[in-house]
Structure 1
Amino acid sequence: MDDLDDPGRDLAALVQKSFDAHDDRLPYLTHQQETLSRGELQDRVTKQAAVFAGYGIGPGSTVGLRTPPSFTQLEVLLALWRLGAQVMLFDFRLKPPEVAALCGTCRPQFMVSAGSNVRATFGFRSEYEVVTERQGGGQAAGTGHRLVQFSSGSTGRPKVIGRTARSLAAEVDRFAGVPGMPVTGDRLLLLSSTAHSFGLIGGLLHSLAAGVSVVFAPRVFARDILRTALEHRITALFGVPTHFELLAAATDPPALPDLRIAVSGGEIMPPRVAADFAQRYGVGVGEAYGTTETGIVAIDVGGTLRPSVGRAAPGVSIRVRRGELDVALDESPYLFDSGGAQYTDGWLHTRDRAALDAGGAVVVRGRADSLVVIGGLKVDLTEVENVLREHPAVEQAVLVHEEMTEAYVAVRAGSEPPSAEDLLRWCRERLADYKVPRVVRLLDALPRTSNGKLVRQAALLRSAG
């Protein structure tokens, strides 16, 4: 794409260029029997932009967007970008205290959300009512970033990550330059979350630019996914390892003769799951590795380079330093001083332990800090520990994650000990469901090392119980 300079005008131009790249009559978004062509979506975007302009949203306005994955989510996002707004993309699964904390840091001027009872919805819905509210104390954008996302920080403080029009355009181009990615005429079944980078940029934005049709399954059950794949003659599938494991374990699955591309992102694909899926459906599972800060870093669409996650994507510079992977960036992606020392001297330190194999492919060996990936979503164990410590009866808490997330809790002296279910309920009220520990275990005291640090080895904590 062309070089981009003005943050508002050029992002609007990027969106328009993607629409203009292919025939308006081509189908773009499909859910069950409902399909939006490229032209129909563009008409909706134009009308929605006019509505937002009536609220006073324009270049440099800051807008929080909190809707479930849907046609509406993309329609609203593109309309806000057309107006030059800075969009803060909230995962709809976040609970009100989490959203309030993020808004306290970022101070959006407007919040756009789904008007219906989102908690009551089950499965994918194509459309939602749009509710726009002006926020008291909001501030206009102080930088040229036009997409703002949030990622857990190693200290428990969320990182606020900004993407410019230039970086978004470059990432769409990177995906276009990767051999084997879906192209014009392909039908992509998108199971990856569209609130996160791989689903949004590798799924929706790349597909808009490349002329790919995006299809959504009504529910994330094997039978619904397989029925959708057959009905719409799916040629490509993007998801997280959990999706592929679900499909590999399906009873008497049908053949998927049109499927030729399958790519997993969000967390490292277990080789066993990839092998089981390939045996069932005759398609190798590729790997996409990236971060919210950088977008796509390395990718192997065909899954032929496992156990690596593939070679660096076109235009991405990487290095392995002190056993951890760094990615070159022109500027820090962090807003509101939320990144700490993770970006220095032109390098983003992913804090993923990694190595480069003889062919230059990236082998990722796990996290070097407290961040873990659960079902394709990043969870900072420190954040969950802090929420548990806020309970009036809790003295200390430690989380560990191996096959599942376990919380070990010590109760304050003189306090009435809460039950494990009480503490799980406390977490559910304050954290997105995917962050809630699977098990809470109460101990008289948490074990510590000889120098006074809390023990964080699961085996030792279990033995202390």
Structure 2
Amino acid sequence: MAPDIRALVDRLLGAHPGDLPCLVYGDHGQSRAEVAAAVDFEAAVFAAHGIGEGATVMLQVPPSYTQVHVLLALWRLGAQVMLVDHRLKPPEVEALRALCRPQFMVSTGVPGGSLMRFEAQYELVTSRRADGRASATAHVLVQFSSGSTGSPKVIGRTAASLSDEIDRFAALPGMPARGERLLLLSSTAHSFGLLAGLLHSLLAGVTVVFARRVSARDMLAAAAQHEVHAVFGTPFHYEVLGTAQEPPALPSLRVAVSGGELMPPETAERFERRFGVPVGESYGTTETGVIAMDVSGASRPSVGPAAPGVVLRVRDGELEVLLPEGSPYLHGSAGERYADGWLLTRDRARIDAAGGVHLLGRGDSLVVVGGLKLDLVEVEDVLRLHPSVTAVVVVHAGATEAYVSAADGDAALEGELLRWCRDRLADYKVPRVVRVVPDLPRTSNGKLVRRRDVLHALPGSGCPPPARHGPTPDRIRAAPPPGSGRHPRAPGTAPGPHSTRRRARTMQTDVHQEIRAFVLSTITEDMNLPLDTDRVTDDSPLGTGGIDLDSLSLIELALRLERRFGVEFPDDDIEPVGAMKLGDLVQDVVRRGATA
């Protein structure tokens, strides 16, 4: 008999003695008994709201103790939980709500949460929707993934599917075991963090440790304070950890696994050199859960063999996964991704003689941004809704770029379209740059051309190859023309009365110029963000309306400045960087004692 979700929750919470540590954040921890009591309390509150077996609940709460308690409590009542990323904007959430029509909405009452800070507890708001519908299927977890049509794919998992995947993780050699501590950096709103990180740990008796912020200092402080044995994160987390200056010794660390996107080999190598532990890979999809995994990291460049019980095949160069229990797609969102019992991943792949899965890239419009999947068609659909837009193409090569033709397009429209996207899309989905061009090229049969090099070469694109491009002229003031300010002293002219002051200013300017050049090269080369440095001045904002660095990019920039110039950015000083102009940041780094 297939397990129901209530039995699975009981199994997870009852697998080990109640006094065993379960969740830890800073100096505050919860035992398994305390977690179970919190789940019972939340379940009683939700039951009083009328939530019970078969009820549908859309849950949008940032990763936290609260999110864990609420998810398990809703499952204990037999509800179907629609798990929504806390970073999604209200229009995105409303679109999902209108599609799925949950009976209840549970959130913090504040759209989004801090992308940089973990909070243990959140106040909740529960509301009932008049147009909500009860569950018509056995799915207990509903997640959303970008779809090949630009519309979100609605993906359901049954209790049996979740239970099987947890058991797959338990069968993998090297996974964290009872009494060990796991630093969980991956979001519990997504499959790897939720299944491999949280639910497997509940079953295995592993203590889950959370870091205060996504910074090398905080992640390593949590790892050292709690003497963690394992780390689960995305390639971004390992990149940040690899930049740490004088990292603490982590003698207990034995396992590190990356999920969400393919780990760049140089990032894995840097982490291993720094901490002495190779980084393993976990590859999967929202639809299937884990597909292949190598905890040890010894299989790179493959992502490891198929997980226990997973059946794979490669057809026409693309990887397919057997899902005999039926399509995971709900609300007619399958498209052509499921056929005859097989899930088409759209990942190009090959399987070697030893069974190792080698990923060779995407076969459709789906890309990965910071470990999160993004369908470029979804961005195109949002831009196409703008009344001035007649055609749009969105491409991605390290960063997302949009090319738009408009009835009355000019440079001012570019900034307006970026703001349009920010109001309607999660931050990671917003293009780094929008270019308005007179016309978009088409093939002989009328299809829009999607080659990035062709789009770069368009008249009016502002992207003459091979120069990098970035924020538009209306958002970054052009530098004054040559000759509009001071004039160089002619050869042989005697120094004026301020020459000594000028020499001192020149010495100071050398440091300023070095910092400025480092910031720009970091953004364009190391972080691979599109930016036309010729258009950047000291008055260019680093955040919204300028260079448009998001919170994770600000963290990375601060870490690289620390390493290069020997300065320190306390955690509370990183977020304000986003409100600075480039010149302000340069001055700030100098004030912190930058050394060339």
Structure 2 unaligned segments of length 5 or more: list them: 462-596
Q: Find 2:225's aligned residue among 219, 224, 231.
A: 231
Contact 2:86–2:111 (CA under 8 A) maintained in structure 1: no
Q: Find 1:214's aligned residue among 170, 189, 208.
A: 208
- Quote the residue 1:360 is aligned against: 355
Whether 1:459 aligns to 2:453 is yes
Contact 2:88–2:112 (CA under 8 A) maintained in structure 1: no
- Residues 197 and 119 (structure 1), Cα distance of their counterparts in 2 relative to 1, 3 Å cut: closer
Give how far 1:337 is off: 1.1
Per-residue CA distance 1:50-96 (angstroms, 9 max, x = gap)? 11111111100000101000000010000000000000001111111
Q: Find 1:301's aligned residue among 288, 295, 317.
A: 295
> Secondary structure at the residue paired with 1:312?
coil
Whether 1:203 aligns to 2:201 is no
Per-residue CA distance 1:297-340 (angstroms, 9 max, x = gap)? 00001111111111000011110011000000021000111011
Give how far 1:168 is off: 0.4
Q: Distance in 2 between matches of 1:343 and 1:224?
A: 42
Correspondence 1:351-390 to 2 at 5 A? 351-390=346-385
- Quote the residue 1:4 is aligned against: 2
Per-residue CA distance 1:167-201 (angstroms, 9 max, x = gap)? 00000000000111111011111110110000001
- Quote the residue 1:347 is aligned against: 342
Q: Distance in 1 between matches of 2:441 and 2:232?
A: 42
Contact 2:191–2:289 (CA under 8 A) maintained in structure 1: yes
Contact 1:116–1:128 (CA under 8 A) maintained in structure 2: no
Larger radius of gyration: 2
Q: Find 2:441's aligned residue among 409, 427, 447.
A: 447
> Secondary structure at the residue paired with 2:457?
helix
- Quote the residue 1:65 is aligned against: 59
Contact 1:428–1:436 (CA under 8 A) maintained in structure 2: yes
Correspondence 1:245-264 to 2 at 5 A? 245-264=239-258
Amino acid paired to 1:324: E
Aligned length: 458
Give how far 1:447 is off: 1.7
Q: Distance in 1 between matches of 2:198 and 2:215?
A: 22
- Quote the residue 1:406 is aligned against: 401
Give how far 1:118 is off: 4.7
- Quote the residue 2:272 is aligned against: 278
Q: Distance in 2 between matches of 1:188 and 1:242?
A: 18
- Quote the residue 1:164 is aligned against: 158
Structure 1 unaligned segments of length 5 or more: list them: none
Contact 2:322–2:343 (CA under 8 A) maintained in structure 1: yes
- Residues 172 and 368 (structure 1), Cα distance of their counterparts in 2 relative to 1, 3 Å cut: same
Runs of 4+ in 1 over 6 A off after TM superposition: none
Amino acid paired to 2:384: R
Q: Find 2:132's aligned residue among 138, 144, 157.
A: 138
For normalisation by structure 2, the TM-score amounts to: 0.75
Whether 1:391 aligns to 2:389 is no
Q: Distance in 1 between matches of 2:97 and 2:316?
A: 36
Q: Distance in 2 between matches of 1:396 and 1:238?
A: 41
> Secondary structure at the residue paired with 1:349?
strand
Whether 1:82 aligns to 2:76 is yes
Contact 2:90–2:111 (CA under 8 A) maintained in structure 1: no
Q: Distance in 2 between matches of 1:362 and 1:204?
A: 25
- Residues 440 and 175 (structure 1), Cα distance of their counterparts in 2 relative to 1, 3 Å cut: same
Amino acid paired to 1:391: H
CA RMSD, Structure 1 to Structure 2 (Å):
1.3
Q: Distance in 2 between matches of 1:110 and 1:248?
A: 42
Give how far 1:254 is off: 2.3
- Quote the residue 1:422 is aligned against: 416
Q: Distance in 2 between matches of 1:418 and 1:52?
A: 49
- Quote the residue 1:99 is aligned against: 93
- Residues 253 and 420 (structure 1), Cα distance of their counterparts in 2 relative to 1, 3 Å cut: farther
Q: Distance in 1 between matches of 2:14 and 2:409?
A: 65
Amino acid paired to 2:383: L
- Quote the residue 2:7 is aligned against: 13
Residue identity (%): 61
